Every structure is written in structure tokens, then in C-alpha cells.
Amino acid sequence: TDLPRSPPAAAEPRHASPAAPRRLREKLRTAARMAAPPAHTAPGSRQQVQGGERRAQPATGAPPAARETRAPFRFDYERFRRSLRHPVRGRQLGEDPETRARRMKVKEMMKFAWDNYKQYALGKNELRPLTKNGHIGNMFGGLRGATVVDALDTLYIMELEEEFQEAKKWVEKSFDLNVNGEASLFEVNIRYIGGLLATYYLTGEEVFKSKALELGEKLLPAFNTPTGIPRGVINLGRQDTRSLFSPCSGMSWSWGWASAGSSILAEFGTLHLEFLHLSELSGNPVFAEKASTSLLVLNRVEKPQGLYPNFLSPVTGNWVQHHVSIGGLGDSFYEYLIKSWLMSDKKDSEAKKMYDDALEAIEKHLVKKSAGGLTYIAEWRGGILEHKMGHLACFSGGMIALGAEHAGEERKQHYVELAAEITNTCHESYVRSDTKLGPEAFRFDAGTEAMATRLSERYYILRPEVVESYMYMWRLTHEPKYRQWGWEVVKALEKYCRVEAGFSGIRDVYTTTPVHDNMQQSFFLAETLKYLYLLFCEDDVLSLDDWVFNTEAHPLPVNHTNFKA
């Protein structure tokens, strides 16, 4: 995660609008309709710039009488809660004692992870459990408390009330958005905005909504590129052009390691779930418009063999190099296509078509079977296959399971099987290690099957993707093996990753005396423990009828009420 940075690129014209073909204009109109103000709000009363309800102003030249009757936009939280089909924490009916005990064990792990973070690192981004101090890192542009914001909804769902109140208090009193530093647009979006939005929807507490909107506004300048595709890094400082002290504020640039100033597919393609909700909550379509533009550019651009390469120029809108991966650099883009469709209550048929087409191309060109009969998804470098699967790519079992439920009858069984096979392969990468935890990447070549062959790929950093797929496969099939596999992960985490003051990643999964990496990742609390907990819950806890999980496992509601395609 500690990635090198490139210097700021030359500033591009602000507000440059991308070429807007007819379909793009239609899509933007749809996005704007989704975020349309209620009928009682007079046209023109919202500024078409950054800001939500706090900035609502009368339209220039409107008659005084109209001005008086206008109400500022207000999201109807009660109406939203009534639209949910299940209680958010479920009813917990009819469960067996073993499942309950396992769920309680995961809850205890969450409490342990949180208590240690609180004791040694509260206000820092992550806990260093061996040295018992905090880690700030360089992904969040001066923002603090990544673990607090990532943990909020997990604490709430697990009914860790006291701990949730501690986290909430920190957000209210200490979460400072007035920072000046270089942040990853993607990471700030999935962890902070996702976490705040989810917690607002779960609790109705205004502080989470207002922080999410304020932070969302700070991200908007990243989209000021010729294509509307955002750059990966943004300076979060106040955008005061007169200030000598923060001359880079609001500027964005590409990662130094990304080819030729390109933007990363998994980064700019993993914004729209959250941004649609920022529009939904603020009544301001600007967020939905910005995020939708990237998808439209992607939809339009020619794709080699129907595949989406990982690097695209935000200046020209063309691919910069032909490297395709369903793991790192590509992963969550595919996830957000199917989830866009689900979140729109199955109305966003364009996203569904993009997902279906992409999956078809992936199956045709990347899905392979090993000599030992394991199905895996290879990577593609300009037409040459690399027979490697990253731990990150293991989310795809869950994604394909999620999509399978909604595929036509003739495809459904096929996708259920594909999802099960990929999940099984990822499980194999765990069981073939000495710790029963999976490596960062595993390969299928030179007689190797589902094991890391390079020293640099043997580590495990508390990642969630494999248990994420177990959770989706469990909900789809209710086959007991998925709960059993999840329980094996719990036992391995306890044995090899739990240390005196929290949980730590390990440097080599193939040794039973592992060296710890001294890092309790925030996604361990947001995702790994949440998915494990849900695996041992009834299906009505955060029901998939009502919620889609963003790529950091923050639940965002399905739009049962407002979307009018």
C-alpha cells in the first residue's frame, strides 16, 4: 500500500467536458433523475456544483414568492427504512447452537481487534499490534481514523453497542476533514465514504451523512480531466487558489508507477456505488454524473477480445497497455458492474450488459483448468497468459455467485458451478498451506497447483476475499461446507495471526512459526470479520434483498423507491 508517487501533472482545464454522445447524455439524464429533488423543490434551486443541501440557493431572478416556499432538499430517512424488506440485524430465528457459538466467537475477535486499536492507536489509521502503536500511512491524504470509519458498521451489525458509541464519538469529536495531503481517491472512497454512508443508512445519524458529503465534495476535482475519468491521487486540501500554503489543493495526478500517467481500472471503476448515494442523500446530481461518466467512456472504448485492460489514459480515453486482471488493478471494476445493476433494483440494464459481456470474455480467454482439475482465472498480458491468481481475485467466486442468481435459467446453473469451482480453488490455496491461510498469489505452472512459488508472494495480510466468497456461496447454496471452511479460517486466524495486542498479518503462510508483519489492516475489521460473522448469521441479517456491499464490505441500500429509469 505504500506506493511511490509521481509529481503533480500539469493542470488540465477545469470543468473540461468529455465528448458526450447521445447515450452518454441519456445516461447522465438518468443519473440526474435518480438524484432529482422532490417535487416541492423549485427548479434551479440547487447549484450544479459541489455541495448538497447546505448550499441550496434560490435560482437567480426567481420571483420572491417562489423563494419563500422552497424547502431545502432533505433525504427522507424514515421512508427509506420503511422500504427495507428485512430488519437490518435480522431476526436470528431457528439457528443451531453451534452456529451461534461460532458467530459469537467472531464477535469476540472483532471486540479484541477494536479494543486494541482503541487502546494503542485510536485516531491513527491502523494498529501496529506488535509495537502497540499506530500507523498513519500515505494513502489517506492526512485523514485519520481509517480503522474507526471502516469498523463502524461492523460494530453496529454485531451489536457491540458500547464500542460503536466509542467509534461514533470519535467521528463526532475528532474526525477532521480539514486536512491537506495526497490521498488515493479509490481508498478514501471505498473506506471512508463507503463506511460513513453505510453507517448513516444503518443508523440514521446525521453526522455520518454530513461527513460523507463533505468528503465527497473534496474528491470532485479529481474528475476534472479531458475525459472525465479521474486521476488516482488527489490533494485533499482546501481549494483556495489564493493560498500560498496549499498550492496543490484540489489538484490530482496519476500514480507514479502507473504507465504513462494512466488511471487504474479498479480505481476509477469503483466509485459509482458510493457516488450515486452521495447524490441520493444530497439531492445534488453532480456526484452521480461524475462517476457515471467513467462507465460510459469504458462502455464506448474498443476492448481487446472484449476484455478490459487495467490502465487507461484520462487524457485520451484510450488503453495505455494491454494487461488484464480480475485480481489487483482490475478486480472491483467488475464487481461494481453487477452491483450497480443490483443497487438500481435491477433497472440499470447497461451495467448488467457490461457485466455479462465482460464475464463472457473472461470465461472465454482467462478461465482455465489445471492438470489437477482446479478452475482458476489467469492474467493476460497482451495476449500471453500468466497462470497466476492473486488472493484479491478470489472475490470473484462471490461475485459470480451473486450474478448467478440473476442470470437467465439456462446460464444460472453454469455460473453457480463456475462460482463454486473458483471458490473451491481459493479454498485449496488455503488448505495447501501449513497455516491454513492463503498466500498473496498462487500459481498453476511447472507442476505447481494453487501454491505460491515466489518468496515475495507467500504473505497473508488478513485479506477478506476468500471468506467473502464463502459468505456469498453460503447464501446462494446453503451447503454446510462453506460454513466449515469459514470456521477453519477463524481457527487459523486465532492460531497464527492473533497476538497479544490485536491481529497481525504474517509473512509466510507456509511456516507454522510465522513472522508477523505488525499490521492490523482496517479492512480486517471492515470486511474479513464482517463476512465471517455474516457467514454464521441467518440470511436476513443485511439481507441481499436490501443491501449491496461496496468493495470494502460497507452495505449500501438497494434503491427500492427512487430510481426511475
Give the annotated binding-site residues: 551
Residue 445 appears among annotated catalytic residues: no
514 touches 506 (CB < 8 A): yes
Q: Which residue has the cell 451489536?
A: 159
What's at 168, amino acid-wise?
Answer: K
Q: Which is nearer to ligand DMJ, 139 or 297 (CB)?
A: 139
Q: CA dist 419 to 162, 276, 367, Å?
A: 38, 28, 11
Q: Among 372, 509, 367, which Cα is nearest to 447's?
A: 372
- Which of 182, 187, 379, 546 is flagged as catalytic? 187
- Helix 194-203 to helix 146-157 angle, to the nearest 10 degrees? 30
User: Which triple of cell numbers denotes residue 291?
Assistant: 462517476
Any long-range contacts for 76-81 (C-beta under 8 Å, 24+ apart)? 77/204, 79/561, 80/201, 80/557, 80/561, 81/204
- Which of 150, 182, 350, 465 is flagged as catalytic? 465
Q: CA dist 491 to 6, 130, 437, 498, Å?
A: 42, 20, 10, 10
Q: Which is nearer to ligand DMJ, 18 or 439 (CB)?
A: 439
Q: Which is nearer to ligand DMJ, 397 or 464 (CB)?
A: 464
Residue 457 appears among annotated catalytic residues: no
Q: Which is nearer to ligand DMJ, 53 or 465 (CB)?
A: 465
User: CB of residue 190 vs ligand DMJ: minimum separation in angstroms?
Assistant: 6
User: CB of residue 462 vs ligand DMJ: minimum separation in angstroms?
Assistant: 8
Q: In what order do the strands lie in the sheet with 384-386?
A: 323-324, 379-381, 384-386
Q: Which is nearer to ligand DMJ, 217 or 527 (CB)?
A: 527
Q: Which residue has the cell 486521476?
A: 231
Q: CA dist 137 to 69, 166, 256, Å?
A: 49, 23, 17
Give the annotated binding-site residues for Ca(2+): 551
User: CB of residue 139 vs ligand DMJ: minimum separation in angstroms?
Assistant: 10
Specify the 3-state DSSP secondary structure of 70. coil
- Which of 153, 331, 540, 552 is flagged as catalytic? 331
DSSP letters spanning 222-263? GG-SSSSPPPSEEE-S---TT-SS-TTTT-EE-BTTSGGGPE
Residues found near ligand DMJ in the complex (CB under 6 A): 332, 392, 463-464, 523, 527, 551-552
Specify the 3-state DSSP secondary structure of 441. strand
Q: Which is nearer to ligand DMJ, 508 or 552 (CB)?
A: 552
User: CB of residue 101 vs ligand DMJ: minimum separation in angstroms?
Assistant: 27
Q: Which is nearer to ligand DMJ, 80 or 503 (CB)?
A: 503
User: CB of residue 523 vs ligand DMJ: minimum separation in angstroms?
Assistant: 4
Residue 12 appears among annotated catalytic residues: no
What's at 302, amino acid-wise?
Answer: E
User: CB of residue 267 vs ligand DMJ: minimum separation in angstroms?
Assistant: 10
Q: Which residue is nearest to ligand DMJ (CB)?
A: 551
User: DSSP class of residue 516?
Assistant: B
User: CB of residue 284 vs ligand DMJ: minimum separation in angstroms?
Assistant: 26
395/266 Cα distance (integer angstroms): 13
Q: CA dist 433 to 21, 29, 212, 440, 460, Å?
A: 52, 51, 40, 12, 11
Q: Which is nearer to ligand DMJ, 465 or 540 (CB)?
A: 465
Non-local (6+) Cβ contacts of 25 within 8 A are none
Q: Among 296, 282, 134, which Cα is nearest to 215's?
A: 282
| Radius of gyration (C-alpha) of the chain in whole angstroms | 23
315/472 Cα distance (integer angstroms): 38
299/306 Cα distance (integer angstroms): 11
- Which of 150, 440, 527, 540 is flagged as catalytic? 440
User: CB of residue 463 vs ligand DMJ: minimum separation in angstroms?
Assistant: 4
Annotated catalytic residues are 187, 331, 440, 465
